[in-house]
Amino acid sequence: MNPFAPIARIPAVRFAALPGEFRRKSRTEWADANKRGEAIDSFLEGPAFDRAGNLYCVDIPFGRVFRVSPAAEWTLVAQYDGWPNGLKIARDGRIFVTDYRHGIMTVDAATGGVTPVLRAYRSESFKGVNDLHFAANGDLYFTDQGQTGWNDPTGRVFRLRTDGGIDLLCDAIPSPNGLVLDTAERVLFVAVTRANAIWRLPLFERGPSPKVGTFIQMSGGTSGPDGLALDEEGGIVCAQAGLGVWRFDRLGLPTHFVGEPGSFVTNVAFGGADRRTLYMTESETGEILTARLPIPGRVMASQL
């Protein structure tokens, strides 16, 4: 018996490109470490929507946060001395950023001010926080990736509870990256980039996750799974940088492939009035791509 149905191909189109006024191709400290010294003009990540339908994203090497209107108009919201990697919007409208240098931050969309929220765990600095995800109750899940990989499998996943407590859910991970909760919020899925896999972390109210396992073992690409999103059927949409975007059903079987092989999509977010439009950050080109998916994305905290 073959459990795999034919995989549907969905084309991606360009929604918006970072305007020339914001592009300044140059070497940066971040690119020296992560792009082998290549001169770049941007590296977009962390797409997330506010209630008005504006898309926010970050530009890691230049410490920038952008807002893109439904009409594809770009606004620089903030620029500071940091490396913002992930972005999500809380139910109360606050913008949270995972900053590789500084930890968890909030960004004021009106003033551009950046405020630290969490800089360390038990007085120890983070390796380099990467992505974040809000539960319906306000708990914040985030990954601490740094430069970890199979040569240094010490990445971590944390939960910052609404009461201020912090749970170390899992350590010894070779490059934890994007993350998303299942529909019941009893399981956390984590993209483990260097292992080319998506892990499954069972959750309890307190303490670490037991029986952590591999949910999907992927192959191919030039990097590994990166940003994750969930749809209303419990399916996972996964950006696999250097290959494209996959949609897996709730059992982990592949059902759809978005875009063209070779694209460097790093993260994804559902948007549009019906939440069927997938927005993707193409980090190599500084573009936002879109595609229409058959199943709506799950409502995020900022949309409740």
CB-based contacts of 271, cutoff 8 Å, min separation 6: 49, 53, 55, 277, 278, 279, 297
DSSP class per residue in 244-262: EEEEE-TTS-EEEEES-TT
pLDDT at 300: 75
Which two three-digit tokens encode residue 11? 């084309």
Burial 270-290 (b: 16+ CB within 10 A, else e): bbbeebbbbbbbbbbbbbbbb
Q: What is the pTM of this model?
A: 0.96
pLDDT at 18: 98
CA dist., res. 197 & res. 202, Å (int): 16
Mean pLDDT per 10-residue section of the chain, whose length is 304 residues: 80 97 94 91 97 97 98 98 97 96 97 97 97 96 98 98 97 98 97 98 94 96 94 98 95 94 93 97 97 94 60
CA dist., res. 26 & res. 42, Å (int): 9
CA dist., res. 238 & res. 126, Å (int): 25
Report how far apart, in Å, the C-alpha atoms of 199 and of each of 141, 147, 252 are.
15, 18, 11
The residue among 75, 38, 41, 33 whose CA lies nearest residue 285 is: 41
pLDDT at 197: 98
The residue among 203, 73, 76 whose CA lies nearest residue 135 is: 203
